[in-house]
Amino acid sequence: MTVTITAFERSPDRGNGLARDMRLRWAFEEVGQPYEVRLLSFKTMKEPAHLALQPFGQIPTYEDGDLALFESGAIVFHIAERHGGLLPDDAHARARAITWMFAALNTLEPPIFDRSLVRILERDEPWYEQRLSALDDVIRRRLESLSTHLGDADWLDGAFSAGDLLMVTVLRRLQGSGMLEERPNLAAYVARAEARPAYKRAFEAQLAVFTASSTG
Amino acid sequence: MTVTITAFERSPDRGNGLARDMRLRWAFEEVGQPYEVRLLSFKTMKEPAHLALQPFGQIPTYEDGDLALFESGAIVFHIAERHGGLLPDDAHARARAITWMFAALNTLEPPIFDRSLVRILERDEPWYEQRLSALDDVIRRRLESLSTHLGDADWLDGAFSAGDLLMVTVLRRLQGSGMLEERPNLAAYVARAEARPAYKRAFEAQLAVFTASSTG
């Protein structure tokens, strides 16, 4: 039985691959596993059938027989545990890769995701410029630390891992801000990930959903 | 060789157990493993020796021989993988417990941690009331979803797990806000966790650091 994930019927990012189903699609492509996608409207996401799978009414979810999971980080980890290619075999390297998964989602993503929301929801508020500037300061400090750690390496810790996969999906939200270009090794890191065949297949798959929804 | 973690020399929360070393201390107590603590000043946290362990200059870290980890979520997971008591043996239940670990840190913690920061850093800004109110709305929606999921169960998914441990450390930041009391099952959930002997031992250990630092 093929695993089924959920994604937005109409992605709010217009096919830019920033919705969190992209992480799962990319992980499946890296490990060479098929998956099916059930598309949800914003209305359906808040209905009891979906809330039984995802208590917070969000996407993505993961269903495999009688196992149902949510949280993109947890699902990427589940895929990485079951199939080779996203976590090192060496126990220490594996623990460090998991550290980077949590760092992506808990240290980098909160201010970067906030920035996206502020730019949409608080643009007309009197505090907009000051709040955006404060957030940008936080983000720049985190990027500086990340850039220093990465140095001239290809990936965060040895071979490409689920830690890199999650980190790149977080950093891609900064494309267009100019902040990645201030740290050329980070811009190159994101470009290196986007050039992976698995990334490209995943990106095309989510883009096809948006294209179909906007021409239908 | 005993594992060594790092913690604040002077905890900014004055011994309330909200710093992230509390998660590690509690996890070690739940699995019955000893640990040593190296205390760091805010100055030391930004120096090269610590940055080599923690690229973002934060606490806690975890050192076990030549393995060094950071990110409290990753470290709790590492402890839970190595020792019994924090993750179920059943594969599906284990995957669901990991889902709740990510939900605690990626869905609940960001707005709740933001609220703590806003109350300290933006109290004198003209937008303070409006921003706090907007954050409280987000937090209340998340708490409503969590409360509905929990229902009258003791823990989020079967037996107490690392998912509960992380969730409770996140919810404790709301103590004093009145928001937990609006959802009596969530207030009872936090109290149930705080009554665990392992929690109490961990709390006392971090409190002892604060007490020593303030009378030294």
Residue-wise pLDDT for A54-82, tens only, equals 999 999 999 999 999 999 999 999 999 99
B70 contacts A99? CB cut-off 8 A? yes
Q: Are residues A57 and A120 in the same domain?
A: no
pLDDT at B215: 74
pLDDT in the model for residue B213: 86
- Is the domain of B98 the same as that of B176? yes
B chain contacts of residue A99, beta-carbon cutoff 8 Å: 69-71, 74-75
Interior angle at CA A135, CA A133 and CA A140, nearest 5: 95
Min distance B142 CA to chain A CA atoms (Å): 7
Handedness of CA A12, A144, A146, B76 (dihedral sign): negative
pLDDT at B214: 83
Q: Domain check: are A15 and A96 in the same one? A: no
Predicted TM-score (pTM) of this structure = 0.97
Could you tell me if A94 and A62 are in contact, meaning their C-beta atoms sit under 8 angstroms apart? no
Do B95 and B192 sit in the same domain of this protein? yes
Residue A215 pLDDT: 74
pLDDT at A182: 97
A140/B contact by beta carbon, under 8 A: no
Same domain assignment for residues B80 and B174 = no
Contact assessment for residue B94 and residue B88, using Cβ atoms and an 8 Å cutoff: yes
* Cα–Cα dist A27/A162, whole Å: 8
d(CA B73, CA B37): 18
Q: Average the pLDDT over A176-202 and give the result.
A: 97
Q: Kindly give the interhelix angle for A109-121 and A128-150, rounded to the nearest 10 degrees.
A: 150
In chain A, which residue's Cα lies nearest the Cα of B105?
A106
Mean pLDDT of all residues belonging to chain A: 96
How many folded domains does chain A comprise?
2
Same-domain status, B41 and B73: yes
Instruction: Give the nearest chain B residue to A122 (CA atoms).
Output: B131
Write the pLDDT tens digit of every residue in A129-177.
988 999 999 999 999 999 999 999 999 999 999 999 999 999 999 999 9
Question: B99: nearest CA in chain A?
Answer: A74
- Expressed in angstroms, the distance from the first to the final Cα of chain A is 30
CATH number for the domain that contains residue A73: 3.40.30.10
Indicate whether A134 and A190 sit together in one domain.
yes
Q: Which residues pair with A5 in a beta bridge?
A: A37, A62
Phi, psi of B4 (to 5 degrees): -120, 130
What CATH code is carried by the domain that includes residue A145?
A: 1.20.1050.10
Q: Domain limits at A77?
A: 4-85+198-215
* pLDDT of A213 strictly over 90: no
How far, in Å, CA of B85 to CA of B28, rounded? 10
pLDDT one-digit tens code per residue, A99-118: 999 999 999 999 999 999 99
Would you give per-residue pLDDT tens digits along chain B (216 residues)? Answer: 799 999 999 988 889 999 999 999 999 999 999 999 999 999 999 999 999 999 999 999 999 999 999 999 999 999 999 999 999 999 999 999 999 999 999 999 999 999 999 999 889 988 899 889 999 999 999 999 999 999 999 999 999 999 999 999 999 999 999 999 999 999 999 999 999 999 999 999 999 999 998 875
Residues B98 and B189 in one domain: yes
Chain A segment 68-127 residues within 8 A of B by beta carbon are: 69-75, 77-78, 92, 95-96, 98-99, 101-103, 105-107, 109-110, 113-114, 125-127
pLDDT of residue A216: 56
Which chain B residues are closer than 8 Å to A131 by Cβ? 127
CA distance A194 to A89: 24
Q: Residue B98 and residue A74: Cβ atoms within 8 Å?
A: yes
B61-64 and B36-40 beta bridge pairing = unpaired
Specify the amino acid at residue A187. A
User: Which residues in chain B have their CB less than 8 angstroms from residue A77's CB?
Assistant: 98, 102
Q: Are residues A53 and A127 in the same domain?
A: no
Judgement on whether residues A102 and A78 belong to the same structural domain of the protein: no
Q: Give whole-number Cα distances, B173 to B20, B32, B151, B170, B210, in Å.
A: 11, 26, 21, 6, 18
Co-location of B169 and B210 in the same domain: no
CB spacing of B114 vs A110 below 8 angstroms: yes
User: Is A142 an interface residue toward B (CB < 8 Å)?
Assistant: yes
Q: Which residues of chain A make contact with B110, given a CB cutoff of 8 A? A: 109-110, 113-114
Q: Is B157 on the interface with A (CB under 8 A)?
A: no
Q: Are residues A76 and A157 in the same domain?
A: no
Helix (H) or strand (E) holding B5: strand B4-8
